[in-house]
Structure 1
Amino acid sequence: MKRIFLFILTNLAVLVVISVILSLLGISGNPNNMGSLLAFSAVVGFTGSIISLLTSKMVAKRSVGAEVITQPQNELESWLLNTVAAQAKQWNVKTPEVAIYHSPEPNAFATGASKNNSLVAVSTGLLQNMSRDEVEAVLAHEMAHVGNGDMVTLTLIQGVVNTFVVFLSRLISNMVATNDRGETNGGIYFLVSMVLQVLFGFLASFIVMWFSRQREYRADAGAAKLVGAPKMIAALQRLKGETSELPKEMTALGIASEAKKDSLLSTHPSLDNRIARLKGM
């Protein structure tokens, strides 16, 4: 719950900061002009999401200290590169960068600005604690995220959600701060706008988290098609009881999940639900 709260808080902070910067620069959507307000809201809403997408690989590498495999140093690294390359070919996408990061917890993630500019990283804990079949399934899950374009889709959804958060908060704030003579109190407008932006942003996060859970089911299904459902089920079974130690801003990217049951603020479905969904395929 703490990580989800920080994830939401970070997104809201970006919205508020961009709104304030644009306002100080004199760029402010006119609440009395729907077109102007919507355009302003879209700029604020998409800016943070797009920046996050474009810098996602760099941030991910630095956050976990991931080391990209350029020249394999051993048989395991060669196997990783060959496995990801084969799966990328099945998805008809460019082979992602493959990296390993040091962590005792079994985990992996995929990120990147597009299907053909992506990164797949696995932890040392995952390589040490899983069989080759299970690692292959985890890699297939991450490649399904890449092949499905989940990073771009999540960015677009976050941008659209942010746009309406800003739009509605400013529209309602203008109604509250404007008196019968058509005069608007700037202080009240700003204060109400910030409060509503936080409130609507929190409520809108339910939509983003719902999509995040659905993309995990789709990635599991994609992996099952590549390597078979039994391998994916075995990998998820192995993850039960493990914790995710990814940085808070990357929790939604990892395959491991701490959730014991689904909730409105879960980035991942519970492992039991994911396994049940695969068994029902």
Structure 2
Amino acid sequence: MRRIALFIATNIAVLLLLSIVCHLLGIDAMAAERGYGGMTGLLVFAAVFGMGGAFVSLAMSKWIAKRSTGARVIEQPANETERWLVDTVRRHAQAAGIGMPEVAIYDAPEMNAFATGMSRDKALVAVSSGLLQQMDREQVGAVLGHEIGHVANGDMVTLTLIQGVLNTLVILASRIVGRVVDSWLSGGRDNRGGGIGYFVSVMVLQVVFGLFASMIVAAFSRWREYRADAAGATFAGRGAMISALQRLKVNHGESTLPTIMAAFGISGPLAAGIQRLFMSHPPLDERIAALQSGAAR
């Protein structure tokens, strides 16, 4: 649950940081004084910060992934395992109709893998050393198929679009409500510069609205895992994908993937009750059951 909380907190912290920077630089107050140029101006203001931040993160995703995990890209295979790994990714990529991704290995004890990148033809697929050591090749091939499925489905771009739109709505809604609260606290006076009531309201509302936005992002993230599992089953065989997921169940403890990359791993932390709404991955048992039943997701 700690990683789920950190993931949510990171998203909200980015929004809060943007708001504080805008406040300190006077951008928010200047825009408020001018009435944001009407609703259209407010929407543009929110979209620039909401969508802009999401797409900057996407553009930097491969660089961040390499730096944060210490992933080593295989330029020239140094041994038979690396050669097999590159050949398997190439075979899956060709079957999916996408460009050949960069292939990398990062040092971590748990079985994990992730894919990221700004487009289907310029992606990165990385696997942990623990995955290579603890899974057989049939299972690793299925995991690689799962990751290629994420790339082929455009999940990174779609997730960024959803996050950007939700960030925009959070910024927009918090400022609209913040203006109402500030006007009420100031006795109806037209305080276009934005008083303390406005600033505090925006901070609080961004946290509240950000929590709801995180639920929506997490719901999409869980849904995309079922689609990627189906892709892994297509590329490597249903039995191999089920076997890989069953093998993942022996993973114990927290993932060593950095918080910013946690949603992109092959599996994620579990939670119970209302906390399930913030899970980035469905429980492995549910994913296995979906493959066994052949249910479309």
TM-score (norm 1): 0.95
Q: What does 1:103-122 correspond to in 2, within 5 Å?
A: 103-122=108-127
Tell me which residue corresponds to 1:84. Answer: 89
1:158-197 to structure 2, matched below 5 A, reads 158-178=163-183, 179-183=187-191, 186-197=195-206
1:250 aligns with: 261
Inter-partner Cα distance in structure 2 for 1:270 and 1:44: 34
> Which residue matches 1:15?
15
Residues in 1 aligned to 2:188 and 2:259: alpha-carbon distance in whole angstroms: 46
Letter in 2 for 1:203: F
- 1:74, CA displacement in angstroms? 0.8
Query: Identity, % of aligned pairs?
Result: 53
Letter in 2 for 1:180: G
Measure, in 1, the Cα distance between the counterparts of 2:165 and 2:53: 12
Selected match of 1:270 from 272, 283, 292:
283
SS in 2 for 1:98: strand
Please state how far the C-alpha of 1:188 moved relative to its aligned partner. 0.8
Alignment partners' CA distance in 1, 2:278 and 2:191: 40
Pick closer, same or farther for the CA change 1:19–1:181 going to 2, 3 Å. closer
| Matched position secondary structure for 1:226 | helix
CA contact (8 A) 2:218 2:279 kept: yes
2:19 and 2:203 in contact (8 A); partners too: no
Moved more, 137-146 or 262-271: 262-271
Alpha-carbon separation, structure 2, partners of 1:84 and 1:249: 24
* SS of corresponding position for 1:206: helix
User: Please, which moves more after superposition, 255-264 or 5-14?
Assistant: 255-264
What is the Cα deviation at residue 142 of structure 1?
0.3
Structure 2, unmatched stretches of 5+, are: none
Question: What TM-score do the two structures reach when normalised by structure 2?
Answer: 0.90
Q: Which amino acid aligns with 1:51?
A: V
Of 217, 222, 228, the match for 2:231: 222
Alpha-carbon distance in structure 2 between the residues aligned to 1:211 and 1:252: 11
Number of aligned positions between the proteins: 281
d(CA) in 2 for partners of 1:189 and 1:258? 37
**CA deviations over 1:22-67 (Å, ceiling 9, x no partner):** 3444433445721111111111111221111111111111111111
Contact 2:73–2:105 under 8 Å retained in 1: yes
Gaps of 5+ in 1: none
